[in-house]
Amino acid sequence: MADQQQLFKVTIDNITVEVPPGTTILNAARKIGGDVAPPAMCYYSKLQGSGGKCRTCLVEVSKGSDKDPRPMPKLVASCRTTVMDGMEVKNITSPKVIDARAGVVEFLLINHPLDCPICDQAGECHLQDLSYEHGKAGTRYEFQRRTFHKVDLGDKIQLHMTRCILCYRCVFVADQLTNKREHGILDRGDHAQIATYIEKNLHNEFIGNVIDVCPVGALTDKTFRFKNRVWFTKPVDAHRDCPKCSGEVQLWMRGDEVFRVTARKDEWGEVKDTTSGKPGWICNDCRFDKKHINDWVIEGPSAISRHSVISQGHYVGIEKPKEVLIDVMGGRKPRLFLDIHDVSEVNKPNIELSLIDGPATSDTFNGTKKD
């Protein structure tokens, strides 16, 4: 019988967990879960070679191992540092880490615009979450910010380079999921930018996955841009018989309209594995072209495990407050004085917002929209 694999004991924020040798501190912390897991803006478990770029996952190693208990002299990137037996790590229990993370957020926000109110990624942006948790109210930066023009990468994806944090995830997607990568990071230092060489389009059946891995709103789905705020839509698990991918997706719906199709995500914001155990990357057909409810077999509401605004206002795992109106009214049912749908002309069921080109304006509803 083969020897049972020896496991390493590692203690993170005073919680001990056993993991196989070769596991990174980040993945050991994810095994514990919750706040113990450091934030990760560039590491993506489904993309080989990712990590080591953003420094948001810094942790303090207060004891190297049982054999050599000396602490590591500097904070280390937990996505790139593997555990040792007996290692002790501090994440949220280390003031040094909290301070360093605030510094990293400040650096990331030097050039990143604070345009969350108009950004499609708002509500599911990892940088937005990170800024709420570690950001400062003001900026100390006095120089002009780096800006770029928006670029269409093909007809379905838009690159808003000003928002990019150079995490390289989209480059790994193009490298590992497509046959021919057509984009990468050009130039160095503060001139570094994601670009397609001489503005080539990104043509590949799986290139739409760059949108899902982008932690910020730098790569957005043009079929969804400005159509809706993500927290107004309801995520629903659905599938179809797709010849190119697993066809297991998440539909973002409002009423009967499918506004957006994405891969399903786990609690770390990464693409979930499919029922067959493979990473659930989806093809462009499913993502961009199947926007009708009849294209899909609906499985049911998605369970959103990630702590974010998306998990608010949805209908899975929500504990509703007790309805007290009837008690207060002595057992009588409250009368509805006004049903907004009877008096409002905003509802125009014949206009499918998900299918119109560009954002809806008053012209859309007045029937004066010119093509």
CA dihedral 292, 297, 301, 307 (to 10 degrees): -80
Q: How far apart are CA 283 and CA 246, in angstroms?
A: 9
Q: How far apart are CA 357 and CA 353, in angstroms?
A: 9
Cα–Cα dist 49/12, whole Å: 24
Smallest distance, Å, CB 280 to ligand SF4?
Answer: 18
Q: Any idea of the CA torsion for 183, 48, 224, 358, to the nearest 10 degrees?
A: -10
CA distance 228 to 232: 7
Which spans of this chain sit near ligand SF4 (rule: CB under 6 A)? 164-170, 194, 213-216, 218-219
What is the Cα–Cα distance from 188 to 186, expressed in whole angstroms?
Answer: 7
Quick one: what does residue 63 bind among ligand FES, ligand SF4, none, with the CB cut-off 5 to 8 Å set by partner type?
A: none
Of the two residues 57 and 230, which places its CB atom closer to ligand FES in the complex? 57
CB 287 within 8 A of CB 262: yes
Check binding of 308 to ligand FES (CB under 6 A). no
DSSP structure class, residue 271: B
Instruction: Please tell me whether residue 43 binds ligand FES under the rule CB under 6 A.
Output: yes
Pick from 12, 79, 216, 283 the residue near ligand FES by CB under 6 A.
Answer: 79
CA 224 to chain centre: 16
Does 55 participate in binding ligand FES (rule CB under 6 A)? yes
Minimum distance from CB of 135 to ligand FES (Å)?
Answer: 17
Question: 136, 43, 35, 127: which is closest to 90 by C-alpha?
Answer: 35
Provide the minimum distance between the beta carbon of 312 and ligand SF4 in the complex, in angstroms, as a whole number. 25
Q: Which of the choices ligand FES, ligand SF4, none does residue 207 contact, using the CB cut-off of 5 to 8 A by kind?
A: none
Q: Whole-angstrom Cα distance, residue 162 to residue 109? A: 11
Give min distance, CB of 44 to ligand FES, in A: 9
Binding test (CB under 6 A) with ligand FES, winner from 10, 12, 36, 42: 42
Q: Does the protein bind ligand FES through residue 57 (CB under 6 A)?
A: yes
CB nearer to ligand FES: pick between 45 and 196: 45
**Only segment of 7-15, 54-62, 85-93, 259-267 that touches ligand FES (CB under 6 A):** 54-62
Which of positions 197-216 make contact with ligand FES (CB under 6 A)?
Answer: none
**Residue 30 binds ligand FES, judged by CB under 6 A:** no
DSSP letter assigned to residue 362: H
How is residue 273 annotated by DSSP? B
Residue 172 makes contact with ligand FES by CB under 6 A? no
Among 10, 36, 54, 89, binds ligand FES (CB under 6 A): 54
| Helix or strand (DSSP H, E) at 301 | strand 297-301
Report the interface residues with ligand FES, using CB under 6 A. 40-43, 51-57, 77, 79
